Structure 1
């Protein structure tokens, strides 16, 4: 396994790891709970060694790895944005913002999340909002 990567290869690797919801524990060491069944990008599987480990006190340093309070605050803000998006333009912007934010959700197991975690509520509201927005868009295009 070669460690000499170009800058573009390192950037592509970092993006792939973040898309797969990994967090960088320290330079070159990525981690996440084993709660996701996912197909990893070839760039990850071809560049990594996977180990199963446990933190000494069985409590991963979640707050050091993911900024859960910022993610949560933005999720609550987006829930309000969707409620106020009464035009097609506002709906389009809200749709894009929520979609992007959901891609940043670390998808941690419930026992590692704060009790007031808005992830499920944001996903449920977004599903309803997106369906309503799609119907409004279809209606507009038929006028």
Structure 2
């Protein structure tokens, strides 16, 4: 299932301007397994995206640079491409340095080691390594739940979601065992391998309990359409790219046997990659705008 996600691009102001509706979008609309309300909700979600702040835009550009450093003058110039004035960008850079998120020397701004490590971790999260699926499910069970604080529970929930687990009920997390290193190593977790009774039918029913696949697919299509819309300005497109990265990080990464027909994750990745490649050619960078997350 590898159709092209984008039709021939056109340029406006030097950046990518896709034309028309992609083959994937046509297939998604034709399939139409989600409800009208889900589609409308997804479109509203995209419309409500706001342009990145100067801080987030600066971090996004630096997180995408290789090495992760840029001259201040270049950051100001690039910020203006996304509707951020020079003075606003300079103030944001000064505050990032004061906060210990950037270093500066001789007019060049660079990420700190902590943010550089975050860059590498996010790249891994966007494309985790997969393994053949044999029907087994990784099951993580919380032990001693009564002694955990609310902050501890929130931290665990974030860690499990980042590892693409779905919560079956309080303290029980599951996912198909098709990702390399999917287990979250924490003292309060016990890991088991389970195989649902009832074969593939039961496994698909379990998937539906763990994740809202229709909502995820509807939002993916809405993001693709936003990328394709020639009337969307560059500041909004950068915000759409940031939302795309956050959205892709929530893809459950299901094995093919359990994924819905025409699952749009690959389409969204290709659309995002096309935007990133065009931006790289235009401004000499390859930004991953996840700093806004």
| Aligned residues of 1:72 and 1:117 also touching (Cα < 8 A) | yes
Structure 1 unaligned regions, length at least 5:
none
CA distance in 1, matches of 2:246, 2:283: 20
Counterpart of 2:240 in structure 1 is 94
Mapped pair 1:135 → 2:281:
yes
Counterpart of 1:123 in structure 2 is 269
| Aligned residues of 1:21 and 1:32 also touching (Cα < 8 A) | yes
Counterpart of 2:214 in structure 1 is 69
Structure with the higher fraction of residues in strand conformation: 2
CA distance in 2, matches of 1:40, 1:82: 34
| Aligned residues of 2:221 and 2:264 also touching (Cα < 8 A) | yes
The correspondence for 1:57, drawn from 194, 198, 209, is 198
Counterpart of 1:27 in structure 2 is 170
SS in 2 for 1:112: coil
| Aligned residues of 2:223 and 2:244 also touching (Cα < 8 A) | yes
Could you state the TM-score of these two structures normalised by the residue count of structure 1? Answer: 0.86
| Aligned residues of 1:79 and 1:122 also touching (Cα < 8 A) | yes
Deviations 1:69-99 (A, max 9, x none): 0100110111111112653212211111111
Could you state the TM-score of these two structures normalised by the residue count of structure 2? Answer: 0.44
Greater relative contact order: 1 or 2 (C-alpha under 8 angstroms, separation 6 or more)?
2
| Aligned residues of 2:224 and 2:271 also touching (Cα < 8 A) | yes
Structure with the higher fraction of residues in helix conformation: 1
Counterpart of 2:23 in structure 1 is none
Counterpart of 2:157 in structure 1 is 14
CA distance in 2, matches of 1:52, 1:36: 13
- Kindly name which structure, 1 or 2, has the bigger radius of gyration based on alpha carbons: 2
Paired positions, count: 137
CA distance in 2, matches of 1:117, 1:103: 15
Quick one: structure 1 residues 84 and 133, their matched pair in 2 at CA, closer, same or farther if it must change by over 3 Å? Answer: farther
Q: Which runs of 4+ in 1 moved over 6 A?
A: none
The correspondence for 1:104, drawn from 244, 250, 259, is 250
CA distance in 2, matches of 1:73, 1:109: 20
Quick one: structure 1 residues 11 and 138, their matched pair in 2 at CA, closer, same or farther if it must change by over 3 Å? Answer: same
Counterpart of 2:189 in structure 1 is 48
Quick one: structure 1 residues 90 and 135, their matched pair in 2 at CA, closer, same or farther if it must change by over 3 Å? Answer: farther
